Chain A
Amino acid sequence: MISGNLLLTHINIVRSGKVILNIENLQINSGDFLGIIGTNGAGKTTLLRLCCGLIKPNKGTIKLDDINLTNLNAWKKSDFRKHIGYIPQQAEYNPDLPFTLREVVAMGRTSIKPLLQRLDNNDYEIVDEWIDKLGLADNRNQTFRSLSGGEQQKALIARAMSQNPSILMLDEPCSNLDFNWKYQITDIIEQLYNITKVTVLMVSHETSLLPSCCNRAILMHKGSLIADGDTDNVLESSEFQQAYGSQFETVTLGGRRYTIRK
């Protein structure tokens, strides 16, 4: 088991001659809840995909605990990724397959097991436990495609958690959900974090969807990290106003931070 410390140094990603990510130094400590905010095209998803190892940097190193992932071959890198729970945006999965909810959640156990080894009763106990914890017991044998968007998102969280991850990466987990589901999903993420203290990296466009336990935020703009620190301080920083090109005020209500234009 790894502790979940992530260190990115001198990262540079260039595509078609354009710098899409440029990060000098970013340290994420075990147990951090890091909110990743920024304008459209700022590089938030690229950063998350880089941390997952889905894309390679042109320059720089990514260290998970003390292991330099950039030096590992693809096979060994995969072995380290089994500690990462990843919840992508909807476009990245095929929601039309007739898989049952239980099958989707059980996918979280796949990388835990070596190749050629089947999931056993113990795996399915863990899967059922997470299905129950997320209140999906009644939908267990329903197909994933027949669930509502919010229930699908809960199922994907259960899938990621059944993997017993050291790091949980969420890419706009509340996009395309109605406001009630948005808050339900963020409440679930907060509860999971408080119970497991897993390292969380969460991309969000809406500041109100960052749970109150999100103690640290980074602000991305045009591929660069322009602010890093306490979430409230980042939201009130001048860099935040500059990045969005307007004057904003952040109001905290019921533990949530709402950013409104002045």
Chain B
Amino acid sequence: MDSYFITVIIAGVIAGASTGMLGAFIIGLRMPFIGTCISHASMAGFIWGGLLSFNNPTLWPITTSLGGIVASIISALSLATIREDKTRLDKNVGLAIIFCFMLGITFLGLGLNQGSRTDMLGLLWGNILFVNTTRTITIAVLAVLLVLFVVLFNKEMKVLLFSRSIAAATGVHESFVYSIFLTLCGIILAVNMPLIGGLMIFSLITCPAAAAYQICKGYVPVVITSACFGMLSTLAGFFISYYLNLPTGACIVIVSVVIFALTTLYKHISGQND
């Protein structure tokens, strides 16, 4: 195994852990579709960032990354403005509308693009060739930021997951904390997406967290187990794809679904009660 693959594994494991951890909150907030929405926003930003580089190879990596992050943050924060109790708009319907808009912007950018579309389409499925030391460090720094956020805003996030109405009515600064969470969510998903893929990231948000919710009791165990399951999904997925010469993204997705299936089975067989 060469050193490049080790870098890929490290990046993948950290990305899996941070996406899994994010998933614990996203599933708790009952908005799993956010992963697909933000990853498409990121893709739109990536494509338009590429267009704005005017085929300058020095500018290209900077404009594409910035474009992806900015578009993700904008789409994530658009969600913060949707208050179900005020607008009577379900947050998942809001997500779907932002998703459709981002999809339109993405394909408009693709249509305007004169050069190769391989890199851009690679964002859909993920490509380990996007991994380099700089991106690995970025992914690691963001993972540390996420852990810090979870520790510092632990008590507020618990109430937010339980009920935004209770949080708002009883004086928790829920809009502030929710906006920070969504911003972090946007940045992490945008940075992790080229590695995992816009379509695959959805499974890493949903499956590890759903599996953790099946077998855990209490907030902290859910968050930690979800991160561990995310890490396990990417690690096992990478090894299976490496040794069996199979597509990496697909292996990660399948492993994450298998983990969910096993936890459900375990809960059923063990008769585990709360």
Contact = CB atoms under 8 A, between A and B. Distances in A.
Interface of A: 49, 52-55, 74-75, 78-86, 88, 92-94, 96-100, 103-104, 106-111, 113, 115-116, 118-119, 141-143, 145-146, 160, 163, 169
B88 to A, nearest CB: 9
Interface in B29-64: 30
Nearest to B151: A118
Chain A CB count within 10 A is highest, among B85, B162, B176, for B162
B163 A88 contact: yes
26 contacts: A52-B168, A53-B168, A54-B165, A54-B169, A79-B171, A81-B170, A82-B170, A84-B169, A84-B170, A86-B166, A88-B163, A92-B85, A92-B163, A94-B163, A98-B222, A99-B158, A107-B158, A107-B166, A108-B170, A110-B156, A110-B167, A115-B173, A118-B155, A142-B274, A143-B217, A143-B218
Contacts of B79: none
A119 B153 CA distance: 11
A93 B171 contact: no
Considering residues A79, A99, A145, which has the most beta carbons from chain B within 10 angstroms of its beta carbon?
A: A99
B274 to A, nearest CB: 4
Given A78-B171, A88-B165, A98 B217 contact: yes
Contacts of B177: 115
B172 A111 contact: yes
Contact of B173 (A78, A106, A146): A78
A97 B175 contact: no
Contacts of A93: 162-163, 165-166
B273 interface: yes
B154 interface: yes
For the residues of B in contact with A, the DSSP-based class is helix
A92 B156 contact: no
Contacts of B254: none
A99 B169 contact: no
A110 B165 contact: no
B110 interface: no
Contacts of A96: 213
Given A93-B163, A93-B165, A111 B171 contact: yes
Contacts of A116: 152-153
Given A111-B170, A145-B274, A94 B159 contact: no
A116 B176 CA distance: 12
A109 B170 CA distance: 10
A104 B155 contact: no
Residue among B165, B166, B177, B222 with most chain A CB within 10 A:
B166
B185 to A, nearest CB: 18
Given A84-B169, A88-B166, A163-B170, A110 B175 contact: no
A82 B217 CA distance: 28
Interface string B202-245: 00000000000100111100100000000000000000000000
B122 interface: no
